């Protein structure tokens, strides 16, 4: 068994079975699906989120394995991903408690408690009206560079997200005008951690991010700014032998857009495909 409870929640769990306590918490339910429940609760004048996992069963595990997907069997995956991001300085959730018990992966019980984020807005909501009401150029570029920097540090540290969309970035409302703006990266329950992120998983993350940004009115130059910031190099060097990677990003993002929306997207005309070449980051 693993158990970690921060001091501000110690009295809530004192003398009780921590897993029974986690299950008994009451608050605003955000998600309640088979084997997993997420809710917001208050204690001691503060608010927290808890994700409780009660085992996915062997059927779900085998289904994922047959589809060549890594099954998510509990809160431990997100716990490790949050700690890994903390270690490299990427703002993310703040852990207030974690527990895990059981050896059988199909029936393992676990929970993760995190602090409620400071007042913030998702980038999906923040950028939704950009096509009709474009923000100042400097503000847009600061956000683009901040997202690219998060992507670079995350991937460079061996972490890939697997659900990498604008909705999983939260912009701190009190730090919108700072340089860089403060972005929290959340929803890490499917993240993977290795010594080095394979090319295919970098591609999946960046294509997912681009897909989620296709309708916010980014210009050709905006996309090139992202490439430079992601590589942390001048454009000529950033593209180098990696043009094939960016072409694949665009193709994958457009395929996902077609799948989700049932229609073709008015593509940017190949902004990510500056010229011919092979290779990838």
Residue limits of CATH 3.30.200.20 in the chain: 2-115
Neighbouring residues of 109: CB distance < 8 A, sequence distance ≥ 6: 19, 53, 54, 55, 74, 99, 100, 101, 102
Please state the pTM of the whole predicted model: 0.91
Give the pLDDT score at 268. Answer: 53
With beta carbons less than 8 A apart as the criterion, state whether 81 and 95 touch.
Answer: no
Place of tokens 């929970």: 111
Q: Determine whether 17 is an active site residue.
A: no
Q: Which of 17, 125, 139, 163 is an active site residue?
A: 163
Q: Which fold has domain 2-115?
A: Phosphorylase Kinase; domain 1 (3.30.200)
The backbone torsions φ and ψ at residue 186, rounded to the nearest 5 degrees and listed phi first, read -125, -175
With beta carbons less than 8 A apart as the criterion, state whether 99 and 19 touch.
Answer: yes
Six-digit token string for 231: 């590589």
Write the DSSP symbol of residue 271. T
* Long-range contacts at 182-187 (CB < 8 A, ≥ 24 apart): 182/91, 183/91, 183/123, 183/143, 183/146, 183/147, 183/150, 184/91, 184/92, 184/93, 184/117, 184/120, 185/85, 185/90, 185/91, 185/92, 185/150, 185/154, 185/161, 186/92, 186/93, 186/117, 187/163
Residue limits of CATH 1.10.510.10 in the chain: 120-261
Six-digit token string for 262: 């049932």
Give the pLDDT score at 279. Answer: 44
Instruction: From first to last of the 281 residues of the chain, give the pLDDT tens digit.
Output: 899 999 999 999 999 999 999 999 999 999 888 778 999 999 999 999 999 998 766 666 677 667 667 767 789 999 999 999 999 999 999 999 999 998 877 678 999 999 999 999 999 999 999 999 999 999 999 999 999 999 999 999 999 999 999 999 999 999 988 889 999 999 999 999 999 999 999 999 999 999 999 999 999 999 999 999 999 999 999 998 899 999 999 999 999 999 999 999 976 544 455 443 444 45
The superfamily in CATH containing domain 120-261 is: Transferase(Phosphotransferase) domain 1 (1.10.510.10)
Nearest to 204 by CA among 241, 162, 169, 165: 162
Q: What are the DSSP calls for 131-193, one per residue?
A: TTSPPPHHHHHHHHHHHHHHHHHHHHTTEE-SS--GGGEEEEGGGTTSSSPPEEE---TT-EE
Place of tokens 């403060």: 182
């Amino acid at each position: 068994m693993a158990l970690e409870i921060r001091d501000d929640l110690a009295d809530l769990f004192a003398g009780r079975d921590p897993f029974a306590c986690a299950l008994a918490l009451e608050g605003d339910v955000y998600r309640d699906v088979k084997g997993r429940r997420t809710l917001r609760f208050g204690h001691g004048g503060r608010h927290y989120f808890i994700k409780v996992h009660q085992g996915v069963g062997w059927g779900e595990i085998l289904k994922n394995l047959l589809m060549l997907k890594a099954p998510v069997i509990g809160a431990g995956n997100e716990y490790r991903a949050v700690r890994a991001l903390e270690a490299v300085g990427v703002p993310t959730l703040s852990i207030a408690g974690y527990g895990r018990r059981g050896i059988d992966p199909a029936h393992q019980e676990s929970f993760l408690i995190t602090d409620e984020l400071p007042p913030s807005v998702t980038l999906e909501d923040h950028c939704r009206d950009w096509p009709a009401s474009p923000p100042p150029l400097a503000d847009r570029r600061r956000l683009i560079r901040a997202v690219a920097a998060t992507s670079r540090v995350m991937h460079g540290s061996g972490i890939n997200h697997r659900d990498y969309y604008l909705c999983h970035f939260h912009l701190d409302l009190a730090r919108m005008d700072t340089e860089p703006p403060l972005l929290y990266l959340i929803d890490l329950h499917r993240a993977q951690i290795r010594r080095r992120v394979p090319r295919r998983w970098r591609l999946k993350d960046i294509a997912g991010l681009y897909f989620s940004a296709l309708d916010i009115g980014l210009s050709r130059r905006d996309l090139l700014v992202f490439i430079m910031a992601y590589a942390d190099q001048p454009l000529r060097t950033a593209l180098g032998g990696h043009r094939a990677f960016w072409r694949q990003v665009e193709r994958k993002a457009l395929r996902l857009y077609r799948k989700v929306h049932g229609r073709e997207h008015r593509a940017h005309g190949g902004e990510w495909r500056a010229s011919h070449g092979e290779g990838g980051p």
